[in-house]
Amino acid sequence: MTATISDGATNFEPLMVVGWESTREAGNVIHDIINRPDDDVTYRPARYRSGTLTVLCATLEDAITLEALVSQPKKLTLTEDTRPALNMAFVVEGDITVTLEEETREEATVAIEFRQVAP
């Protein structure tokens, strides 16, 4: 099980993806029509996903390295060989949170708020 986060020049392999939550905003537009019980609808595709990706790093130093990588104003990619449904191009949108694991005090997680973009 290998996950890789890349900016095209630098590849980072965390220990594993430990969390992934996504939301897709529907693109349909509902038009309320006065004096009609039914609405008109303009059908549009849903937007790309947005959400939070959380990965486990072996050390706090690795987590800080990943934080620096994803802090750049660049398009990034996630590839995950055992769960290809997670594969995506994305940009960071929101917070990047580094947390030292309380039990081990060795490993650290990095939570990245993302928005998927076209590859």
| Whole-prediction pTM | 0.87
Query: What pLDDT, on the 0 to 100 scale, is given for residue 68?
Result: 98
Each of the 119 residues of the chain gets a pLDDT tens digit; together they read 699 999 999 999 999 999 999 999 999 999 999 999 999 999 999 999 999 999 999 999 999 999 999 999 999 999 999 999 999 999 999 999 999 998 888 999 999 999 999 99
Query: What pLDDT, on the 0 to 100 scale, is given for residue 1?
Result: 64
Take residue 85 and report the two structure tokens written for it.
């449904």
Query: What pLDDT, on the 0 to 100 scale, is given for residue 114?
Result: 98
Query: What pLDDT, on the 0 to 100 scale, is given for residue 105?
Result: 87
Query: What pLDDT, on the 0 to 100 scale, is given for residue 103?
Result: 85
CA–CA gap between residue 35 and residue 19 (Å, rounded): 47
Take residue 55 and report the two structure tokens written for it.
């990965």
**Mapped to the 3 state alphabet, what secondary structure does the chain carry?**
CCEEEECCCCEECCCEEEEEEEEECCCCEEECCCCCCCCEEECCCCCCEEEEEEEEECCHHHHHHHHHHHCCCCCEEEEECCCHHHCEEEEEEEEEEEEECCCCCCCEEEEEEEEEECC
Report whether 57 contacts 108 (CB < 8 A). Answer: yes
Please report the domains of the chain, with CATH numbers, ordered by start residue.
Answer: 3-117 (2.40.30.200)
Bridge partners, residue 4, by sequence: 79
